[in-house]
Amino acid sequence: MNPTPTTTPLLAVEHLVKHFGKGRNQATAVNDVGFELHDGGSLGIVGESGSGKTTTARMIIGLEQPSGGRILFRGQDRTQPARTVRELRERGRNIQIVFQDPYTSLDRRQRVGDCLAEVIGVHFRLDREETKRRVRELGELVGLDDRQLGALPKALSGGQRQRVAIARALAAEPEILILDEAVSALDVSIQAQILNLLSDIREERGVSYLFISHDLAVIRQVCDDTIVMRHGAVVEQGATAEVLDRPQHPYTRLLRDSVPREGWNPAIGIARS
C-alpha cells in the first residue's frame, strides 16, 4: 500500500540535530536529519548501532530534546517540550512507541488487561463496561485471548509480550506508531507473525509506522520508504525497493552485501556452492 501524499505531511522532521556533552566532550548523535511520513505510510530507518536512528525516534516521541531543527506533527511545531499536562497527553495519544524488549517495558506486577485499561483511562472517558469491551477488542486485534489478558507478563512468551506492548500502544489510538527494533529480540518464526500482525493493523486502522531496524529483510517487508543513517546523518533515502535493490551510497551497498545469502556459511565466510 503506497498512500497518496497529502499537502501537509503527518510528520515532518526538518534539519534535526542532537548533541550530547559540552565543549571538547561534545558528540553529535544526529546531524541535519530530515524526512516526511504521510497518513497511512510506513517509513523505515535503517543503520548500524550508533547510527542515530534510536536517538531520532526518542526526539520525535519527546524523550530527548533536540539541539536544533524542528519536528512538525500535522504542521504543528512539537520541537519544544509540552507546556501543559493536556498538551503532553495529546502528544502521547498522537504518537506511541514500541520498544525492543517487551518484558522490561511492561510492569511485571500488572496483569495485561489492567495495563491496557490503565492506558485507556488516561486518554478516554469510558465507564467500566466500555473499558472492558475496549480491552477485549484490543486483545482480539493483536491475538490475545481472555486467559492471556488476565495473566502477568512472566506467564507469557516473548511474542505474546510484544503483542501486549503493541496493544498497549494502540490503546491510545495513535496516528503514528514508532517501532524501535520491535522484533529483533524474537525468534524468526515469531518475527514473521508480528510483522504480519502489524501489516494487518496498518491495513485495518490506517496507523502510520516509523520502523527502526538494522534488519533489511524486516524493512523490506513492512516499509514503503526507507532512509539509511550513518554516524547520525542520512546518507540515502527513497522508495524501499529502490534503496535496497539499487543502492547509490557505498554504505547502503555495504549493509545490503552484509546480509547472509542462501547457502552462506558464517563459520568460513563463503557461500556453499
**Which CATH number fits the domain that encloses residue 128?**
3.40.50.300
pLDDT score of 2:
52
Sign of the dihedral through C-alpha 216, 219, 224, 230? negative
Residue 73 lies in a domain: yes
CA distance 215 to 183: 10
pLDDT tens digits, one per residue of 190-233: 888 889 999 999 998 899 999 999 889 899 999 999 999 999 99
pLDDT of residue 127: 95
Q: Kindly report, residue by residue over 33-59, the tens digit of the pLDDT.
A: 999 999 999 999 999 989 999 999 999
Q: Are 207 and 222 in contact (CB under 8 A)?
A: no
Within a domain: 6: no
Domain that holds residue 67: 11-259
Least confident of 53-57, 121-125, 257-261: 257-261
**Contact partners, residue 5, CB within 8 Å, separation at least 6:** 36, 38, 41
Query: Does a structural domain hold residue 39?
Result: yes
- Distance (Å, rounded) from C-alpha 132 to C-alpha 138? 10
- Classify residue 35: in a domain, yes or no: yes
Is 270 contained in some domain? Answer: no
Which band of pLDDT confidence, cut at 50, 70 and 90, is reported for residue 252? very high
User: What average pLDDT score do residues 3-29 get?
Assistant: 88
Residue 48 in domain: yes
* Percent of all residues in the chain with a pLDDT value above 90, rounded to a whole number: 71
The number of distinct structural domains making up the chain is 1
Query: Is position 272 within any domain?
Result: no
Tell me the three cell numbers of residue 47. Answer: 543503520
